[in-house]
Structure 1
Amino acid sequence: MSVALFALGGTISAAGRSGSPRVGAVPRLTGAQITAAVPGLAALGVPLDVRDAQAVPSADLTFAAMLDVVAAAEAAVRDGARGVVVTQGTDTLEETAYLVDLVWPRPEPFVLTGAMRNPTLAGADGPANVLAAVRVAADPAARGLGALVVFNDQLHAARWVRKTHSTSTATFASPDLGPIGQVVEDTVRVLARPPRQPPLTRAGIAEHLDATRVALYTATLDDDGALLDVVAEGHQGLVVAGFGVGHVPSALAPRLGALAGRMPVVLASRTGGGPVLRHTYGAVGSETDLQRRGLLNAGLLGPYKARVLLRTLLAAGAGREEIADAFARHG
């Protein structure tokens, strides 16, 4: 049984240009070229079905493009693939992985990986990441875990993983949980199996993405909220990245309450780890006050993933009660 590998572009496929070393790397490698450069891959004895798709930097990936990849991956699994690997740029990988996890309906592993150093640099990490990703995708131990990010010989659940450093090859971490597994001496070791929520039905989501735009607003020091109405204009939902446990300047509270009467507004934390609280603080602009005004609590979901979940729910036609219930379960 094969593993289906979809190459989407990004640093892992950037071969660079001849000439000045100051010229940035550009996408040039195909999926076949990426896999051909991986030492030990053939020795795994895992046939690869390699396909090129969406060969763009991850900054140019879209919800619709990733849903197309999920559909193609599901078809490959139905045709007999025992797992899926996607190579892509790392800039948006934590978001694309979470989107995949929300809708992936199969027990077969769906593994996303990439690279922080392109193939022209010393210590390029792409080959090692691909080798580990294929190992995981082919291993029965990874079944039922949903979407995984495999990087630096660690397995991270898509629900928890974050990109934490702009250049480090150890950039991917799960601050609230830690890696759920490792690849050690050519063996996949799954150390934890966090529970997954039932997948969202994918049907109809892609068709409604254009009509379900979700804005992200980050609260900052001495923020008067004047931009909130501009940010929310033309959007059907809003995620607010608040301070600490879910606070904003008091001047923002009535504006956010008014917006929550018009659209779903989700309160997340901008810190990168830890939850939004529910009833610890009571001042104007606190989590208790904002929830009283109608904001929904993102729980442990960071703002980027909260935006992915909210837009996916809106595109699926979910109403306010369904959205509130989904955030209570996923957050």
Structure 2
Amino acid sequence: MSKPRIAILATGGTIAGVAANPAATDGYRSATLPIDALLAALPGLGDIAEIQAEQVAQLDSKDMSFAVWQRLDTRIRAWRDSGEVDGIVITHGTDSLEETAILLHLTQPAGIPVVLTAAMRPATAVSADGPLNLLHAVRVAAHPGSAALGVLVVVNQEIHAARDVVKLHTGAVQAFASPGCGPLGAVAGQQIRYGRRPVALAGIGGRLLGMPADWPWVEVIVSVAGARRQLVDGLVQQGVQGLVIAGPGNGSIHEALLPALADAWRQGVAVVRGSRSGAGYVTSATGVAAAGEHAAPGGFPATADLNPAKARVALMLALGTGEAGIIGAQGVPDALALQQFFEAI
């Protein structure tokens, strides 16, 4: 029986990092080792699948760019359309993995498995987690049960839906979780165990978004004690197109920011409320479609359970691809359409 064919697309990150001191897990150089070196550390990988690998990028994921996202999208589509692979694995840094994950969730169809993996310790560290994570990611990508589950993330023996997964710890190996819903499954030795299916497989209610030709400018603003409106005003004057507010609790917004955000909205800036809490559902406001209510506390559309970083990616895609109804005929955002967009992710 032939082995599954897996393409590995490398982008750098800690999984490809090198440290001068193997006993240290900080002070290392990220995105140093090429994908060939990572594969050489896994001599048994060829027993699981036929591997083809390419270096799509080599960067610390804190420096992730739109250009790399575009390149990654191009290479994923090329491998899928070629018919030459049964699954795709992407090695990635942990810092922005959740952003790339939601991007792929919204733009890539369910079908052949697309699996992201990463590491919290550099490749040269004592007890490095990257080799095992990569091995497990290949196992998951080669598993027939993974094909219809959308984009996946495999780290620390857990399998997460790309839509749900977030990084919740600065340095622990168990840094990733899916708050509120938990992982889809686990890698147990050589076995893949799935306990649930993701609620949303891909896109907006199954409809995929495209990659923008020009990425819109969307920023995250944190609502904190003593907040001032000048930051909002300055961004609007410079041409920002969208704002995600990372508010405390249920997406609350400081009263000093509300008038500035209402002014921004009237000037065509899409504003949405998220939470900086780390978990939970940000509820939408009653009567959010009424233009006169945007300056009221909580009167802006909510990001549901997407954290601010993920909500920013979603809003960029919506604005950049001209998602129907998000911006009204008069150039002012439509609050109800924007709320429905986030509810459908």
Query: TM-score with structure 2 length normalisation?
Result: 0.86
Cα distance, 1:190 vs. partner?
1.3
Does the 8 Å contact 2:115/2:154 carry over to 1? yes
- 1:132-151 to 2 correspondence within 5 Å? 132-151=136-155
* 1:127 alignment partner, one of 127, 131, 156: 131
Q: Which residue of 1 aligns with 2:314?
A: 309
Does the 8 Å contact 1:279/1:288 carry over to 2? no
For 1:165 and 1:296, how far apart are their aligned partners in 2? 28
Q: Which residue of 1 aligns with 2:289?
A: none
Give the SS at the match of 1:144: coil
Q: Which residue of 2 aligns with 1:329?
A: 344
RMSD of aligned alpha carbons:
2.3
Give the SS at the match of 1:41: helix
Does the 8 Å contact 1:247/1:287 carry over to 2? no
Cα distance, 1:58 vs. partner?
0.6
Does the 8 Å contact 1:7/1:53 carry over to 2? yes
Moved over 4 A (4+): none
Give the SS at the match of 2:59: coil
Deviations 1:107-137 (A, max 9, x none): 1111111111112211100000000000011
1:116 and 2:120 are equivalent in the alignment: yes
1:207 and 2:213 are equivalent in the alignment: yes
Cα distance, 1:65 vs. partner?
1.5
1:269 and 2:269 are equivalent in the alignment: no
For 1:234 and 1:257, how far apart are their aligned partners in 2? 16
Does the 8 Å contact 1:27/1:55 carry over to 2? yes
Seen in structure 2, the aligned counterparts of structure 1 residues 247 and 23 have a Cα distance that, compared at 3 Å, is: closer
1:56 and 2:59 are equivalent in the alignment: yes
Q: Which residue of 2 aligns with 1:283?
A: none
Does the 8 Å contact 1:9/1:27 carry over to 2? yes
For 2:294 and 2:63, how far apart are their aligned partners in 1? 34
Note the residue ranges of structure 2 that are not aligned, 5 or more in a row. 287-292, 328-333
Q: Which residue of 1 aligns with 2:98?
A: 94
Q: Which residue of 1 aligns with 2:296?
A: 289
Give the SS at the match of 1:327: helix
Does the 8 Å contact 1:119/1:126 carry over to 2? yes
Give the SS at the match of 2:159: strand
Cα distance, 1:291 vs. partner?
5.0
Does the 8 Å contact 1:10/1:27 carry over to 2? yes
Which amino acid in structure 1 is aligned with residue 13 of structure 2? G
Deviations 1:160-215 (A, max 9, x none): 1110111111001011211111001211111111222324242xx34211xx1101
Which amino acid in structure 2 is aligned with residue 309 of structure 1? A
Give the SS at the match of 1:69: helix
Count the aligned residue pairs: 318
Q: Equivalent pairs: percent with the same residue?
A: 35
1:231 and 2:246 are equivalent in the alignment: no
Does the 8 Å contact 1:5/1:50 carry over to 2? yes
Moved more, 221-230 or 1-10: 221-230
Cα distance, 1:8 vs. partner?
0.6
Seen in structure 2, the aligned counterparts of structure 1 residues 159 and 194 have a Cα distance that, compared at 3 Å, is: same
For 2:229 and 2:115, how far apart are their aligned partners in 1? 40
Q: Which residue of 2 aligns with 1:5?
A: 8
Deviations 1:237-270 (A, max 9, x none): 1111111012122222222112122211011111
Cα distance, 1:23 vs. partner?
5.9
Q: Which residue of 2 aligns with 1:177?
A: 181
Q: Which residue of 2 aligns with 1:164?
A: 168
Deviations 1:76-116 (A, max 9, x none): 12222111100011110011111011100241111111111
- 1:62-81 to 2 correspondence within 5 Å? 62-79=65-82, 80-81=84-85
Does the 8 Å contact 2:152/2:161 carry over to 1? yes
Which amino acid in structure 2 is aligned with residue 53 of structure 1? V
